[in-house]
Amino acid sequence: MVNKSPGVKALPLAEGYLLVDSKKCQGCLSCMMVCSMVHEGSICLSLSRIQVMQNILKKWPEDIKIVQCRQCANPLCVKACPTGALYVDTANGNIRVIDEAKCNGCKKCITACPFLPQRIVWNPETGKALKCDLCLNTPYWKEKGGPSGKQACVEICPQQVIKFTRKAPKQQGDGGYDLELSEEIVK
């Protein structure tokens, strides 16, 4: 299956997506902690590919918002990358991933991401960009990740509000990605 948006060079759709339910999230940040830990070996909220933003002074549901990489059908980040570091990994379910070795740190992918906050994460220590790879490359985790495996954030979430799906969510707006989760939607 390919993306057939008019006027855009067709790229194959990803075969895996993360869905969240911000309204039920318990705000523990465990997903952010393990995301950075399985990828980097240390825990750092600023290096997590999934971001849970919370203001504990606000009332529900304005107190918490989860944002995750959307594995866009039309990935502007991929198209913006001048080195081919950010590419569609056809060997792994067409997910949009970064080859850190090729990343030159130009931040064009971050600028290109049309969502706020941008889903590409900047690592100031390495001077390179990071993004969700659905746990395809997790040196500090024993599980097999990627679109055919497990995702650390999904596994750790005590509220079960992060789910993996193969079905492409509705691209317009946030409703396809942040919704009340049910088995039917996830399948």
Rg of the chain (C-alpha set)? 16
At residue 34, φ and ψ (nearest 5 deg) are -75, -30
C-beta of 69: minimal distance to another protein in Å? Answer: 14
Binding string, residues 121-160; x marks residues near another protein by CB under 8 A: -x-x---------------xxx---------x--xx-xxx
| 67 or 98: CB nearest another protein | 67
Nearer to another protein, 47 or 98 (CB): 47
Consecutive H or E run containing 98:
strand 95-98
Is the CB of 101 or the CB of 116 nearer to another protein?
116
Q: What's the token pair of residue 95?
A: 């997910």
**71 touching another protein, by CB under 8 A:** no
Using CA atoms, how far apart are residues 85 and 102, in angstroms rounded to an integer?
A: 5
Q: Which stretch, 1-9, 20-28, 74-82, 95-103, contacts another protein (CB under 8 A)? A: 20-28
Q: Binder to another protein among 1, 2, 8, 55 (CB under 8 A)?
A: 55
List the one residue out of 142, 184, 143, 176 whose CA is nearest residue 71: 176
Q: Smallest Cα–Cα separation from 48: which of 72, 68, 21, 28?
A: 68
Paired tokens of 132: 């969700």
Specify the stretch interacting with another protein by CB under 8 A; choose among 71-79, 89-97, 100-108, 114-122.
114-122
Choose, by CB under 8 A, the member of 5, 45, 111, 126 that binds another protein: 45
By beta-carbon proximity to another protein, the closer residue of 3 and 68 is: 68
How far apart (Å, rounded) are the C-alpha atoms in residues 67 and 71? Answer: 12
* Total residues in contact with another protein, by rule CB under 8 A: 50
